[in-house]
Structure 1
Amino acid sequence: MNIIVVGLNHRTAPVAVRERFALPEAEWGSALDRLRSYRGVTEGVVLSTCNRVEVCAAVRNTDEGFEGATRFFTSYHRPDTLDSPASHLYYYASADAIRHVFRVASSLDSMVVGEPQILGQLKDAFDAALAHKSTGVVLNKLFKKAISVAKRVRTETRIAESAVSVSYAAVELARKIFRRLDRTRVLVMGSGEMAELAARNLVAQGAEELRIAGRNQARVDALARDYAGHAVSRDAFLAELIEADIVICSTGADHYLLEAAQMAEVARLRRGRPLFLIDLAVPRNIDPRVNDIEDIFLYNIDDLNSVVEANRRERDKEAIKAEAIIAEEIERMMQWLKSLEVTPTIVDLRTRVESLRRAEVERAVARLGRAGTADEIRALLDGVTSALVNKLLHAPVVALKQEANHPEGALYAETVRKLFRLDEENASSAPPAAGEERVPLGEAPAADRPRSGSG
């Protein structure tokens, strides 16, 4: 069994490509079914965020797993996509796949290193897979370990102290544009987690005229109360666009909420006052043609890289410590994964030995009634245990002799010496006790040999 990861993210694909493959929560179940339908994929988790869409799978064959995961992305390939998704995909297997999952959970692979959102998103993806019964022993272990590693990174490093979320990066961009947010009017479109983070960061940076709009009016009202803002009704939305200085948009809509024609009219009514739009959504909520309208300036999630870069140096110092923690945890995970490969052999070995033991016990019980004196009982026990030893060692001894003249014969001998610790200083080499018979391998013990004389 092996672990693979196949996906695309902000480094390998621009937002125009990523939004083609973004999976709304309602489609997670069907996506997991599709992933597991491909040959060789036994377990699967699908992670879809604004910056990445990737699948993690437990597979019997790595090449077959890669082929199936590629077909998974190809199956979501829209006709209007400019190029094949394969040109944007990355592929990881084994230790590299484990490293990637650990780095994603620990926010080392995020656009903003150290941001806290990704761990929650990874947990949600794992919970969805659990609920859909698309995970098993391997991925359950992997994702629980990934969550544990991420917590350890945050506890043992300061990577989160200098980190910012994408929402915070948007607020930083707004602050750079206006310098002071207490004199600006900000409209947040959306009521989800990222929109709430934006509202929280805006208030922390001094924003006093905060407006919140969204489809879920109860949620909008709650956010407005929590962050000393004002809830905007649908009827007042257009008027708010005319008055706002900054609009931060982050909703779950799968279409443009602000279109070019609508925003051209807004620009006319604003009479030359600049309007800054920051679109954090994937798929995008604002028509990119809006950026062509005079006095309207549009930024999307990819434009936040400049803000992200400002804190990169300090975070990178802590990231080195985090990478060391991850390397340590990868080794443990790999040891566990490799142990799964020998588990069937261990089970079969124990089953085989147990069957031999039971057989000898039955034979001893049948003969025990004929043993009377202590010497006869000793002879019976010697015979039973010697027979068991011979049966246990018969197959490996025969194999050693057969392989002795082959190129790998010495390797077989070395393996046996290691398995049975034959070279240890304290290995027992004492001669048989007085009266104890040394039984040559392959021969029956005395108690099982035919006795001379009558009978």
Structure 2
Amino acid sequence: DSRGGRAVDLEELGSELADADVLVTCTGATGTVIGTDLVTSAMVGRERPLVVVDLALPRDVDAAVGTLPGVHVVDLAMLQGERAARPGEPVAGSVAADDIAAAHALVELETSLLRAERQAAAVAPTVSALRSQAAVVVDAELLRLSTRLPDLDARSRAEVARTVRRVVDKLLHEPTVRVKELASSPGGTDYADALRALFGLGLDADTTVLADAVTVDPAGTGARDQLAADRDLP
């Protein structure tokens, strides 16, 4: 649809072919279904060429169609470099080889991109765990601040909270970006493992408990102050 193409039945092909620039055919027929008479009729009175792409095996298009003036036939044999583009001309093996090489290069590029994407996704849990742990630490410190400075007004408390979170975000930005970039390099997952080991990600049960227990309100409440006091945070 994006190229202006549409499917038609064989019965309608004669009338449709006269206005077509490209015909793509791939039926399950055991013999040819498009002969010289049909294509010759379609070429009457037209000056622009007609490209016929035959993807069927066995072929849908009579081989003689390719000899008609203004008609260019591309079939599986040509793509494989096994027949001449025109009688008397050399086999188009070099053209097919170039196309195959380009296809291989495209597949390799897309494969590399997919591999890099999957490797980056593999370190995503580490990055998420690091940021989650940092958030737990920030929340705990803000909660302790509520206990140490109970008279701090809500506006100041909120500004302190924003400042602390900005600092933590900036400190984590470079390592998290780098570990994603390095993930696509050989041994890239080793960097994620090192990050987990350095920060004890997934190893500290107390962090998980604290994450479940602490909820921070920058303005502070007596209940949360009591929670901090009960935990006796250092």
TM-score interval (norm. to shorter): 0.3 to 0.5
TM-score normalised by the chain length of structure 2: 0.36
> Which has the larger strand fraction?
1
> Which has the larger helix fraction?
2
TM-score normalised by the chain length of structure 1: 0.19
